[in-house]
Amino acid sequence: MLLNKYEDFLKNSVSILEIFSYTISVIIIGISTVYTVFNYVKEYNNLTKAYFDARLILGESISLALSFLLSVEILKLFYVKSYKQLVMIISLVLLKLIISYYLTSEIKSTPKKFKPSIMS
Protein backbone atom coordinates (compact mmCIF):
# COMPACT_ATOMS: atom_id res chain seq x y z
CA MET A 1 0.00 0.00 0.00
CA LEU A 2 2.67 2.47 1.05
CA LEU A 3 4.92 1.33 -1.78
CA ASN A 4 2.18 2.02 -4.32
CA LYS A 5 1.76 5.56 -2.97
CA TYR A 6 5.49 6.23 -3.34
CA GLU A 7 5.47 4.73 -6.82
CA ASP A 8 2.55 6.96 -7.85
CA PHE A 9 4.27 9.97 -6.32
CA LEU A 10 7.46 9.14 -8.26
CA LYS A 11 5.55 8.77 -11.54
CA ASN A 12 3.73 12.07 -11.01
CA SER A 13 6.92 13.88 -10.04
CA VAL A 14 8.82 12.59 -13.05
CA SER A 15 5.90 13.50 -15.32
CA ILE A 16 5.92 17.06 -13.97
CA LEU A 17 9.70 17.25 -14.36
CA GLU A 18 9.36 15.90 -17.90
CA ILE A 19 6.88 18.63 -18.86
CA PHE A 20 9.10 21.26 -17.23
CA SER A 21 12.19 19.92 -18.96
CA TYR A 22 10.57 19.83 -22.39
CA THR A 23 9.28 23.37 -21.88
CA ILE A 24 12.71 24.63 -20.88
CA SER A 25 14.25 22.87 -23.89
CA VAL A 26 11.79 24.46 -26.30
CA ILE A 27 12.40 27.89 -24.74
CA ILE A 28 16.19 27.47 -25.00
CA ILE A 29 16.03 26.44 -28.65
CA GLY A 30 13.49 29.15 -29.48
CA ILE A 31 15.49 31.95 -27.90
CA SER A 32 18.73 30.79 -29.48
CA THR A 33 17.05 30.52 -32.90
CA VAL A 34 15.79 34.08 -32.67
CA TYR A 35 19.20 35.26 -31.46
CA THR A 36 20.94 33.35 -34.26
CA VAL A 37 18.71 34.85 -36.95
CA PHE A 38 19.26 38.32 -35.51
CA ASN A 39 23.01 37.76 -35.34
CA TYR A 40 23.09 36.35 -38.89
CA VAL A 41 21.29 39.40 -40.27
CA LYS A 42 23.59 41.70 -38.29
CA GLU A 43 26.75 39.95 -39.54
CA TYR A 44 25.48 39.51 -43.11
CA ASN A 45 28.41 41.42 -44.60
CA ASN A 46 30.79 38.72 -43.29
CA LEU A 47 29.03 35.49 -44.28
CA THR A 48 31.78 33.14 -43.09
CA LYS A 49 31.69 34.53 -39.55
CA ALA A 50 27.88 34.62 -39.59
CA TYR A 51 27.78 30.98 -40.69
CA PHE A 52 30.15 29.79 -37.96
CA ASP A 53 28.36 31.92 -35.36
CA ALA A 54 25.02 30.39 -36.31
CA ARG A 55 26.42 26.86 -36.15
CA LEU A 56 28.02 27.40 -32.78
CA ILE A 57 25.11 29.14 -31.11
CA LEU A 58 22.57 26.61 -32.34
CA GLY A 59 24.89 23.72 -31.51
CA GLU A 60 25.38 24.93 -27.95
CA SER A 61 21.67 25.46 -27.40
CA ILE A 62 20.72 22.08 -28.85
CA SER A 63 23.35 20.43 -26.66
CA LEU A 64 21.97 22.18 -23.58
CA ALA A 65 18.40 21.23 -24.48
CA LEU A 66 19.44 17.60 -24.99
CA SER A 67 21.03 17.62 -21.53
CA PHE A 68 17.71 18.61 -20.00
CA LEU A 69 15.91 15.86 -21.92
CA LEU A 70 18.56 13.31 -21.06
CA SER A 71 18.13 13.96 -17.34
CA VAL A 72 14.42 13.17 -17.57
CA GLU A 73 15.08 9.96 -19.49
CA ILE A 74 17.47 8.85 -16.75
CA LEU A 75 14.84 9.60 -14.10
CA LYS A 76 12.35 7.44 -15.99
CA LEU A 77 14.57 4.43 -15.32
CA PHE A 78 13.33 4.38 -11.71
CA TYR A 79 9.85 3.16 -12.58
CA VAL A 80 10.38 0.90 -15.57
CA LYS A 81 8.08 -2.13 -15.51
CA SER A 82 9.23 -4.21 -18.49
CA TYR A 83 12.32 -4.96 -20.52
CA LYS A 84 10.70 -3.38 -23.57
CA GLN A 85 10.43 -0.04 -21.75
CA LEU A 86 13.97 -0.41 -20.47
CA VAL A 87 15.36 -1.04 -23.97
CA MET A 88 13.42 1.94 -25.32
CA ILE A 89 14.70 4.29 -22.62
CA ILE A 90 18.28 3.06 -22.92
CA SER A 91 18.20 3.49 -26.70
CA LEU A 92 16.88 7.05 -26.30
CA VAL A 93 19.59 7.84 -23.76
CA LEU A 94 22.29 6.44 -26.03
CA LEU A 95 20.97 8.32 -29.03
CA LYS A 96 20.90 11.60 -27.12
CA LEU A 97 24.39 10.98 -25.75
CA ILE A 98 25.76 10.30 -29.24
CA ILE A 99 24.14 13.46 -30.61
CA SER A 100 25.48 15.51 -27.69
CA TYR A 101 28.97 14.08 -28.20
CA TYR A 102 29.05 14.98 -31.88
CA LEU A 103 27.60 18.44 -31.25
CA THR A 104 30.26 19.10 -28.63
CA SER A 105 33.07 17.84 -30.84
CA GLU A 106 31.79 20.02 -33.71
CA ILE A 107 31.75 23.06 -31.43
CA LYS A 108 35.29 22.38 -30.19
CA SER A 109 36.63 21.90 -33.71
CA THR A 110 35.51 25.34 -34.87
CA PRO A 111 38.45 27.72 -35.38
CA LYS A 112 38.94 30.22 -32.55
CA LYS A 113 38.67 33.25 -34.85
CA PHE A 114 35.11 32.30 -35.82
CA LYS A 115 33.76 31.82 -32.30
CA PRO A 116 31.22 34.49 -31.35
CA SER A 117 31.93 36.81 -28.47
CA ILE A 118 29.45 35.11 -26.13
CA MET A 119 31.30 31.80 -26.55
CA SER A 120 34.77 33.12 -25.71
The answer to whether the predicted template modeling score (pTM) of the entire model surpasses 0.85 is no
What's the average model confidence in pLDDT over 22-40?
92
Compute the distance between CA of residue 68 and CA of residue 24 in angstroms, rounded to an integer: 8
Q: What are the domain boundaries of the chain?
A: 2-113
Compute the distance between CA of residue 56 and CA of residue 36 in angstroms, rounded to an integer: 9
Is the CB of residue 79 less than 8 Å from the CB of residue 24? Answer: no
How do residues 33-61 score in pLDDT, each as one tens digit? 999 999 888 888 888 888 888 888 888 88
